[in-house]
Amino acid sequence: MLTIMLLALSSCAVVQTAAPTPTPKSEPVATRAISAWNGPSFKRMTIMVSDLNRTVRLWRDILGFEVVVNAPSGPDSYSYPVFNIAPGTAIRYAMVSAGPEQQRTLAFAELKGQPLQVPQSPRVAAAVINANGRLAEIIAKVSAEGLAVVPAVVLRSATQGIGTEAAFVDWDGHLIVLYEFPKAIAR
């Protein structure tokens, strides 16, 4: 199963960022269990795409996520004012899950009739995904799709040892970073 993290958010069993509410002095933020978290929770990130079928194929067939919603949006969708979408533009959504603990954590919205602007450099966001032993396979598949690949590098972690990370940019300019730690895979 793949694991997804968006920006600095993680599915790990610990919270690694400072809480908006005071933390007891005897319990460091970095080791506090998620079940004790009483702050806001992350539900999903929505990414605009130009071709939903192509995006679903990437995330389902190449990356291995489960597509759990694939439907059009209604004319009164909150997405119109939030994302500055022109009224009357057709919106179609797909949401993906990475197992039972990460349900609908990423959504894709296809806009028909309103062009997307490709993100500029430097890139401002990335989906960070634990490839769980499939990094080479995934990179080979995205390369075969003609997507731009950022070459793999050694990844060093104080808690997980030495691993590998690589990245690619999808058709709409979205950065996807993949990583894996062989010792974690062998368990």
The residue-averaged pLDDT of 59-79 equals 92
* Structural domain contains residue 93: yes
Residue 127 covered by a domain = yes
89 pLDDT exceeds 80?
yes
**118: three-class secondary structure by DSSP:** coil
pLDDT reported for residue 115: 83
pLDDT (tens digit, 9 = 90+) per residue, 93-105? Answer: 999 998 888 889 8
- CA dihedral sign, ordered 82, 84, 87, 92: negative
**What is the separation of C-alpha 74 from the centre of its chain, rounded to a whole number of angstroms?**
25
Does any domain span residue 56? yes
* 52 found inside a domain: yes
For residue 187, the model assigns a pLDDT of 56
Cβ atoms of 126 and 7 within 8 Å: the answer is: yes
Residue 5 banded pLDDT, cuts 50, 70, 90: very low
Total of domains in the chain: 1
Residue 22 lies in a domain: no
Average pLDDT over residues 112-117: 84
- Distance CA(81)–CA(181), nearest Å, equals 41
> What CATH code is carried by the domain that includes residue 114?
3.10.180.10
Q: Is the pLDDT of residue 55 over 90?
A: yes
Paired tokens of 112 = 């028909």
Instruction: Print the domain residue range for 159.
Output: 3-8+41-186
